[in-house]
Amino acid sequence: MLFNSAMFLVFFICVYILYWFVFKKHKVWILLLSGCIFYGCWDWRFLILLFFTSGVDFLSAQKIGESENQKAKKTWLIASVLINLIILGFFKYYHFFAESFIDLLNIFGFHPSFTTLKIILPVGISFYTFQSIAYVTDVYRGKIKPERSALHYFAFICFFPQMVAGPIERAKKLLPQFKKEKQFSFLYFETGINLILYGFFKKIVIADNLALIVDELHADPQDHGPEILFLGMIAFAIQIYTDFSGYSDIARGTAQLLGFKLSKNFYFPYFSTSLKQFWSRWHISLSTWFRDYVYISLGGNKISKFKRNINLLITFIASGFWHGANFTFILWGFFHGLGLIGEKSLNKIRLPKVLSGVLVFLFVAVLFTLFRAASFYDFVNYMQLLLSFNNTSGIGVIHLITGKLFFIIPFLLFVLFEISKYNKKGLSKYKYNMIGNFLILIAILLFSVFENAPSFIYFQF
């Protein structure tokens, strides 16, 4: 059930009416049941998996909270994390390891011919697994107390606005919101609608139009000149940002309509003047998760500089691997880790902010090309063609602009909105809502991609 579908619209209207106006005293039950229906529409069988892993974590947190023995607490934590990671690894990485093992045997002259299992990846498994692991770990670290109500805990895991693609919420922030009595407020409605409109604008106007161009360029890069491939590289950087931040805005807006506040997942990442700043603004809920539960667990900043750098690389490689079973993701994380290490080494060099911002954006855009590529070979091929300045074959700039860049008007509007929000001296909140929402509605009506619209990019993770 995609956010940008008629089915979700009907589903949410029903949930909204039942939640606010029919079952006023049973709101948490409505949220739990609606989360089950929402997730079950993908594949109802995976609800069993969802409740099994969540049940293990709920029980583990209870045992950790009850125990006075540190060794017993650690045993329950390890058991919970291992069960989650084994299940995640099986569904998400089985084919990767099986195929890699076969390739390794082929190198040594063995040619196995066994049939691999046909495994379907449960949607959102990476997101709700990490959210649940964070909960048990925080209970173990004493940051929160274990939740006693199974109803509230499972509603927290099954909260449909963010369960399949984040933000990855911390129990400390989201769980108490299920216990708080909520009264209908027009403020919830106004702020929620604003976020949803802006999210749809990003997704179906900007990202989906850019996808038409990016997909064509990556399918046959040799048919295009370097200037077009450069535009394609920039286009995908904008596409993945508007696609994912658009989803996050819709998720936050949907939650806001129900009286919940979710974490901000993006904060103008392409205005960053350093890689460190970029990672404090991009997919914030995931980057802080890896910082708190991987990097800090490995020693954080309390160890030697050499070990910190190694742990930073490990953290970013793990972050890349989280995105999927492909070496391109691992390399993407590895190169970002190297970039951060290099940036720390060169921190005494002061460049103009504009130049720093351009360099950071180009570094990120190049690595997003690797992120997008089906294989490392495809990435190298794309970059070689991009840097072949004598290559003038294929579609010209003017032809591409007149033929497909009809997203240029909404794109300029998007840039205007981003800058006006970023600039504290920009439009007032009232004028932004009135003027911005009016322009967004016009852009959605004129430029949206509805037919064969692509799914959200991060649904595959």
Query: Length of the chain in residues, anyone?
Result: 461
Mention every residue, 6+ apart, whose C-beta is less than 8 A from residue 145: 65, 139
Phi, psi of 224 (to 5 degrees): -130, 150
Answer yes or no: are the C-beta atoms of 440 and 197 closer than 8 Å. yes
Q: How far is CA 150 from CA 25, 153, 221, 382, in A?
A: 17, 5, 52, 51
Helix axis angle, 353-372 to 376-386, nearest 10°:
130
Instruction: Please provide residue 27's backbone torsions phi and psi, each rounded to the nearest 5 degrees.
Output: -60, -40
Instruction: Return the amino acid letter for 272.
Output: S
Q: How many CB atoms lie within 10 A of CB 179?
A: 10
Among the listed residues 218, 224, 283, 323, the single catalytic one is 323
Pick from 165, 162, 46: nearest CA to 456: 165
Rg of the chain taking only CA atoms, in angstroms: 23
- 224 assigned to active site: no
Among 263, 201, 161, smallest CA distance to 418 is for 201
Give Cβ neighbours of residue 273 (< 8 Å, ≥ 6 apart): 353, 356, 357, 360
Q: Looking at the annotation, which residues are catalytic?
A: 323
